[in-house]
C-alpha cells in the first residue's frame, strides 16, 4: 500500500491573482477619465503638470532605491499613481519645478523614509499637497479657467469672490476653476464605478464619507440650520477624488468594514467642520491626513475576535 505524501505550508493558504502592479494598473485606468477631463478643461498646462509629477515621482523612487541599494520597485506602478494623484491635487498654473519638488517629497520623505510601499503612515500625495500648500500658498491657491483667474465655487461660498456660483451641471461636469483632477465629478465617478466593479475598493469609506458631508452640510448650512445645499457641496472641491481614490488607500485606511465606516464618517465630519467654520475653503486633504494618523487606533478597537479565542 503506497504512502500518500502531503505538503504542509504556512498561512495564508488562500491565494489571489491580485498583485501590487495589477491593483495600481486598475487605479490608473480609473483615473484616466479625470485626467482627460483635466486636460480638456485646463489645456496643455494640465498635461505638462501631470507628466512632470509622474516623471518626478518615478525618478525619485528609482534614484532613492538605487542610492540606498534597495530593490528597484518602479515597475509596481505605485510611484506613477502617487505622481498622478498629486497632479490632480494642484492647480494647472503651478510652476513645473514646484510640482517636481512635491512629487519628490511624496516619494522620498513620506514613502521611502518609512520603508517603502505599505509602510507609509499617511497618504503620500496628500502629504505632498499639504507641503506645497504650506511652502507656496499663493501658487497653490491661484485658480484659472479659460485664462481667467478667479475663486473656486468653494471660495465663492466663503465670500472670497464676487462672481455668481456656477450651476450644478457645470460643477458636476467640471467646467469650473480648481485643481486639475478634482473638478469633474462625472469623470471621477466613472473611474470609481470601474474600481468598485473590479473590487479594488469597497463602498464603505466613500459612501460613509460623502453621505456624512451631504447630511451635515444640509443640516448645518452656511447661513444657519437647514440652509445648506448638500448635493451641491458634495460635487465641489476634492471630495469625490478624496473619498474614492485617496481615503481608500490600503496602507492608510482601516482593515475592517466597521473601521471603514468609522473612518469615512470621521473624515466627513472633519471636512464639513473645516469647510463651514475653518480658515480654509477646502477640508478634504487635511481631514484624510488627520484620520490616517488614527487608523492604528481604529484597527485596534474594531479588530475581530479570533475564531475559537476568548472575549
**pLDDT score of 283 more than 90:** no
Q: Which CATH number belongs to the domain containing residue 114 in this structure? A: 1.10.3430
Q: Is 13 exposed, middle or buried (0-12, 13-18, 19+ CB in 10 A)?
A: exposed
For cell 532613492, the residue is 64
DSSP per residue, 36-63: HHHHHHH-HHHHHHHHHHHHHHHHHHHH
**pLDDT score of 269 more than 70:** yes
**Buried b or exposed e, range 197-218, using 16+ CB within 10 angstroms:** eeebbeebbbebbbbbbbebbb
Q: Which of 59, 118, 126 is nearest to 87 (CA)?
A: 126
Domain span at residue 202 reads 20-301
Query: For residue 11, what pLDDT is reported?
Result: 62
From its phi and psi, is residue 43 left (phi > 0), alpha (psi between -120 and 50) or beta? Answer: left
For cell 487635511, the residue is 286
Q: Which of 5, 18, 96, 116 is nearest to 50 (CA)?
A: 96
151-183, pLDDT tens digit by residue? 777 877 776 655 678 888 988 998 888 899 988
The answer to the question of residue 203 being in a domain is yes
Q: How far is CA 249 from the centre of its chain?
A: 8
Determine the Cα–Cα distance for residues 212 and 265; give it in Å rounded to an integer.
6
The answer to the question of residue 5 being in a domain is no
Collapsing DSSP states into helix, strand and coil, what is residue 145? strand
Q: In the chain, what percentage of residues exceed pLDDT 90?
A: 63
The answer to the question of residue 4 being in a domain is no
222-260, pLDDT tens digit by residue? 887 887 788 888 998 889 999 999 999 999 999 999 999
The answer to the question of residue 292 being in a domain is yes
**pLDDT score of 145 more than 90:** no
* Virtual torsion, Cα 249, 250, 252, 254, nearest 10 deg: 120
The answer to the question of residue 50 being in a domain is yes
95-113, pLDDT tens digit by residue? 999 999 999 999 999 999 9
Query: For residue 168, what pLDDT is reported?
Result: 87
Domain count, the chain: 1
The answer to the question of residue 71 being in a domain is yes
The answer to the question of residue 265 being in a domain is yes
How high does pLDDT run on average in the chain? 88
The answer to the question of residue 60 being in a domain is yes
Collapsing DSSP states into helix, strand and coil, what is residue 237? coil
Collapsing DSSP states into helix, strand and coil, what is residue 94? coil
Task: Show the cell assigned to 301.
Answer: 478597537
Amino acid at each position: 500500500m503506497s504512502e500518500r505524501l502531503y505538503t504542509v505550508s504556512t498561512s495564508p493558504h488562500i491565494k489571489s491573482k491580485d498583485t501590487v502592479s495589477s491593483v495600481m494598473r486598475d487605479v490608473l485606468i480609473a483615473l484616466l477619465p479625470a485626467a482627460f477631463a483635466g486636460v480638456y478643461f485646463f489645456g496643455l498646462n494640465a498635461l505638462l503638470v501631470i507628466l512632470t509629477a509622474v516623471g518626478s515621482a518615478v525618478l525619485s523612487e528609482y534614484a532613492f532605491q538605487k542610492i540606498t541599494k534597495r530593490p528597484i520597485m518602479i515597475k509596481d506602478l505605485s510611484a506613477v499613481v502617487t505622481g498622478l494623484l498629486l497632479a490632480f491635487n494642484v492647480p494647472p498654473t503651478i510652476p513645473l519645478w514646484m510640482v517636481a519638488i512635491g512629487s519628490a517629497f511624496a516619494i522620498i520623505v513620506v514613502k521611502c523614509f518609512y520603508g517603502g510601499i505599505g509602510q507609509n503612515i499617511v497618504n503620500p500625495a496628500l502629504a505632498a499637497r499639504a507641503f506645497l500648500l504650506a511652502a507656496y500658498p499663493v501658487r497653490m491657491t491661484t485658480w484659472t479657467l479659460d485664462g481667467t483667474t478667479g475663486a473656486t465655487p468653494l471660495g465663492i461660498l466663503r465670500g472670497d469672490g464676487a462672481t455668481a456660483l456656477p450651476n450644478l451641471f457645470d460643477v458636476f461636469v467640471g467646467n469650473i476653476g480648481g485643481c486639475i483632477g478634482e473638478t469633474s465629478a462625472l469623470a471621477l465617478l466613472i473611474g470609481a464605478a470601474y474600481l468598485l466593479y473590479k473590487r479594488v475598493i469597497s463602498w464603505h469609506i466613500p459612501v460613509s464619507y460623502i453621505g456624512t458631508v451631504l447630511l451635515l452640510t444640509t443640516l448645518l448650512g452656511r447661513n444657519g440650520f437647514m440652509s445648506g445645499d448638500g448635493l451641491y457641496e458634495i460635487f465641489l472641491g476634492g471630495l469625490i477624488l478624496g473619498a474614492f481614490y485617496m481615503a481608500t488607500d490600503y496602507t492608510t485606511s482601516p482593515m475592517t468594514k466597521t473601521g471603514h465606516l468609522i473612518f469615512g464618517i470621521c473624515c466627513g465630519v472633519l471636512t464639513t467642520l473645516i469647510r463651514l467654520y475653518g480658515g480654509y475653503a477646502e477640508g478634504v486633504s487635511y481631514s484624510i491626513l488627520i484620520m490616517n494618523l488614527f487608523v492604528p487606533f481604529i484597527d485596534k478597537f474594531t479588530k475581530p475576535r479570533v475564531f475559537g479565542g476568548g472575549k
